[in-house]
Amino acid sequence: MKTQQRTLAIIKPDAVKKNATGDILNSIYAAGFRIIGMHMLEINTEQAQGFYAVHAGKPFFNSLCTFMSSGPIVVLALEKESAIADWRKLMGATNPANAEAGTIRKKWASSIESNAVHGSDAEDTARFELSYFFPGYELF
């Protein structure tokens, strides 16, 4: 059996508002991920700042945290082999202007900030981000 890997995905407020959640979940299943945790919730700006602490000090940080707390989000724990890289590939480039055809951001992102989805970028960030939203016992 190949090694399974976990990653944290978020359907961001812009995509939830566009009713893109079902379409994005379909893409996730079609790409072979298993959803082992899922919550819909709203976070406040302090919680967004904690989640995105790695970006503190960047020019877009405050605006990003305001955006991420502007409405409901769906947080997902995903599992498959190479989940981190494969989810980032399915998301597409951060700036939708550069996102490849067939990616979620190409289809649903409105701007470099309101770009529909989040994905962890490495094993250590995935561990931190999964624990930010899911106590281990909640994952299936």
- Identify the helix (H) or strand (E) that includes residue 105: helix 104-108
Catalytic residue among 5, 88, 118, 119: 118
Site for Mg ion in 88-127 (CB under 5 A): 121
Residue 118's binding partner out of ligand ADP, Mg ion, none, with CB under 5 to 8 Å set by partner kind: ligand ADP
The contact set with ligand ADP (CB under 6 A) reads 55, 60, 64, 94, 112-113, 115, 118, 121
Q: Which is nearer to ligand ADP, 54 or 138 (CB)?
A: 54
Active site residue 39: no
Write b or e for each residue in 93-132: b if 16 or more Cβ atoms lie within 10 A of its Cβ, otherwise e: beebeebeeebbbbbbbeeebbbbbbbbeeeeebeebbee
Measured in whole angstroms, how far is the alpha carbon of residue 37 from the centre of its chain? Answer: 13
Least gap, CB of 67 to Mg ion (angstroms):
14
Burial of 32 per CB tally in 10 Å (0-12, 13-18, 19+): exposed
Q: Which is nearer to ligand ADP, 21 or 70 (CB)?
A: 70
**Residues taking part in catalysis:** 118
By CB under 5 A, name the binding residues for Mg ion.
121
